[in-house]
Amino acid sequence: MPPTFINPFADAIEPRFRTQPVPDFRPQTPLRTSRRKRFTEAIISGFQITSDADRERASAEAAREAENIRSRAAPKTLLKNQRIKECWIDYIHVFRLENQPRLRDDEVWQPELVETQMFGFLTTMVKYTPPRKGFDTLHATTLLSWYNTFIRLIVENMQVDGKSYGFTFLRDKDRISKLKDKVQQLIFDKKLSRITKPKFGFSRHEIKILLTTILDASNHSSTQRMFAFQSIFAITVAFCGALRPSSLAAANALAIEQDQYLHIGDCQLFVHGPLDWEIRIHVTNFKGSFGITASEQYHRYRSLKMGHNLLFDPTVWAVLNWFSRGVFLKKYKDFAEFCNDNSAEIQFDPNKKSEPALLAGLPGQNGKFSDKPMTSSNLTEIFAAWCEKALLPRCGFGAMRRFKADMWGMQLGFELAQVLMNHARGGVYHNAYTKKNENYDLPALAMGEIAGSLEKAPGEVIKRMEDQQMFIGVAVECLVRTTQDTDKGKTKAERAEVVEDHPDIIAHNQLVDNAFTELLECLTPLTSIPSKLATRSVNALMNKVLNEPEDSDCPRIVPGKEIRCHVIHARLLDLFRRGYRIKANINRLIKDGEAQEITHAIKYGSCTGTVEDRHEAIKQSHALDCRVFEVGVKSLSTLVITLVSWTQCAFF
């Protein structure tokens, strides 16, 4: 037997430590804490459970939560997936025999069917899909997008014996690589474009042309003044801070439904001195993000110090926009009283804080707002439309962001430029510590009032970029083309001839002639027929018929046709109103087409004009704008009065 171990310290251990009871590890009923009790009581009261039938009803109601779970994908992505899925279903049924039954939507994803038809599907899509306007063929990236969507649909929809089989199907026989090889073969066989379309960067000279066009359009229309304030506010903020449209406006309809967009309450207005403002914008939905945590950003913009830069000052247009909308808590008598308010922060009306920062316009009513927020696609379309009116290439906000990327890269370094452009995201440092955009006076940096860390003098990089790019730049090309007779478009008489020869107008005039012939049948013979059928001439004729004395020689309504005569008269007036709308629409399309031709020529054409013309355009680009010249030359003591008179002359 092994020797027994004797503990030499046994006598030194106190008796109370020598024997301990064995712990009881048997499961015990957990104590119901007050929190769990409150939770259970809330469930019972919420579902109104008083019997077993109520328990079954509540359980079924809770189980229904597994249905109709909303996808985290963007609505545009879901729509694109649905469109490719419908194309695949239609493609499969085209080759089904007439005596064969139609397959269910889940049956079109059978492995044997997909394996035999997936290559021909992509070929058919390329063959029968027309290219975008202005392009000869489809773009290669479009086919690649179809390929990626089709692969995802295979993974999501293919099942065998109730189990997902998509990944196994694509991996087996290396089908995914063969499908990718087919995509590359189609790109070269069909000669799809692999070159991206020209991309432009808008500097301050292009933006000046754009903003002055907006101001000129709003000078003579009071309904467009508020719309001009809002549009220029969004453009100047995006130009100085490189903000995306989806950060300023609602990204899509789902964002509007979820109230996820920029509100008035997300902005703040601080006063540093006379006409020295600072606005702070809290972007809570960066790029329309719907993540678990909000993708937040803070942007601050301080007033520019030099008067000739006033046109590009986002604080001025923010103040004018908010003042015209009446969103401030204090109600000012006039704009001068507002400028003299020395409060450190101008408070917003609590009832106005929930309003959208950018309002959508009412359809068909130029310059009038609705109470709904503007979408990012609408904001981009407005910017592109103003570009066309200014005879600039049709671009989106990306044109301003491209210029800012180069400018910040040379002013501050390209690593820091990526941070300011929000292309270096992620990590604790970027998300929790650094203020990023708030650390820099972006408007002053954009206009060369202060120097960047890599500049020796303020505006050095901007001047160097302009010296290198201005001669062949968009602003110079636009100014040169606007001085040429060939780009002035059709005259009013030439446009009227085009309108009258339009098929819609010819068909409409035939309806008017027929209706007028029916009207004449209801009247006694006329001594003279109006030379031009229009609202005024027909109304004048009917006034004579109804109001002239009976003994006059004017025509009368044939007895028994009084009701028919009035019905035809009302139909004629309605036709005239419809004709005015048709002509206005055709005129607008002609003007838009002329603007598109010019912008397309600027985008894809060669440089026009002589060397002297382009140097003169460069001087014109650097010249002060007449709308801000008076503000720039005045001293600070009279700047308030000057700004008030300038806004009243230009807008109010």
CA angle 207–378–317, rounded 5-degree value: 45
Q: What is the pLDDT of residues 187-229, one digit of tens each?
A: 999 888 888 777 888 999 999 999 888 887 766 556 677 888 8
Helix 611-622 with 204-218: angle, nearest 10 deg: 70
Q: What pLDDT score does 344 carry? A: 93
Query: 202: closest CA among 63, 440, 384, 37?
Result: 384
Q: What pLDDT score does 565 carry? A: 84
Q: How far apart are CA 278 and CA 345, in angstroms?
A: 9
Q: What pLDDT score does 652 carry? A: 32
Class of domain 204-484+631-650: mainly alpha
Q: What pLDDT score does 181 carry? A: 93
265 within 8 A of 354, measured Cβ to Cβ:
yes
Half-sphere exposure of 639 (CA within 13 A, CB side): 19
Query: 609: closest CA among 472, 475, 480?
Result: 480
Predicted TM-score (pTM) above 0.95: no
Helix 562-604 with 492-500: angle, nearest 10 deg: 120
Adjacent-strand bridge partners of 557:
523
According to DSSP, residue 365 is labeled: S
Q: Residue for token digits 């600072």?
A: 278
| Residues contacting 201, CB < 8 A, separation 6+ | 399, 400, 402, 403, 406
Q: How far apart are CA 113 and CA 440, in angstroms?
A: 59
Adjacent-strand bridge partners of 269:
279, 346
646 within 8 A of 630, measured Cβ to Cβ:
yes
CA angle 85–90–91, rounded 5-degree value: 95
88 within 8 A of 150, measured Cβ to Cβ:
yes
Q: What pLDDT score does 642 carry? A: 39
Q: How far apart are CA 245 and CA 285, in angstroms?
A: 11
Q: Residue for token digits 């005024």?
A: 536
111 within 8 A of 158, measured Cβ to Cβ:
yes
Count of CB atoms situated within 10 Å of the CB of 239: 28
Longest Cα–Cα distance in the chain: 151
Which structure tokens are listed for 484?
A: 């040429």
Q: How far is CA 567 from the centre of its chain?
A: 46
Q: How far apart are CA 620 and CA 615, in angstroms?
A: 9
Q: How far apart are CA 361 and CA 367, in angstroms?
A: 7
Burial of 417 (0-12, 13-18, 19+ CB in 10 A): buried
Buried b (16+ CB within 10 A) or exposed e, 96-130: eeeeeeeeeeeebbbbeebeeebbebbeebbeeee
Q: How far apart are CA 202 and CA 603, in angstroms?
A: 13
Q: Residue for token digits 């139609």?
A: 102
According to DSSP, residue 24 is labeled: -
Q: What pLDDT score does 182 carry? A: 92
Q: What pLDDT score does 644 carry? A: 41
Q: What pLDDT score does 531 carry? A: 63
Adjacent-strand bridge partners of 271:
277
Q: What pLDDT score does 650 carry? A: 37
68 within 8 A of 245, measured Cβ to Cβ:
no
Query: 362: closest CA among 353, 354, 352, 372?
Result: 372
Q: How far apart are CA 181 and CA 122, in angstroms?
A: 12
| Residues contacting 575, CB < 8 A, separation 6+ | 508, 511, 512, 515
Which structure tokens are listed for 290?
A: 């719907």
Which structure tokens are listed for 602?
A: 């600027």
Q: How far apart are CA 652 and CA 649, in angstroms?
A: 6
Which structure tokens are listed for 176?
A: 């995914």
Which structure tokens are listed for 181?
A: 């090889």
Q: How far apart are CA 198 and CA 206, in angstroms?
A: 16
SS3 360: strand
> What's the first-to-final CA gap in the chain, in angstroms?
112
| Residues contacting 274, CB < 8 A, separation 6+ | 339, 340, 636, 639, 640
List, for the chain, all residue ranges whose pLDDT scores fall below the cut of 50. Answer: 9, 17, 22, 25, 31, 486-487, 629-652
Q: What pLDDT score does 24 carry? A: 53
Half-sphere exposure of 594 (CA within 13 A, CB side): 16
249 within 8 A of 262, measured Cβ to Cβ:
yes
Q: How far apart are CA 274 and CA 639, in angstroms?
A: 9
CA angle 351–353–354, rounded 5-degree value: 90
Q: How far apart are CA 490 and CA 646, in angstroms?
A: 34
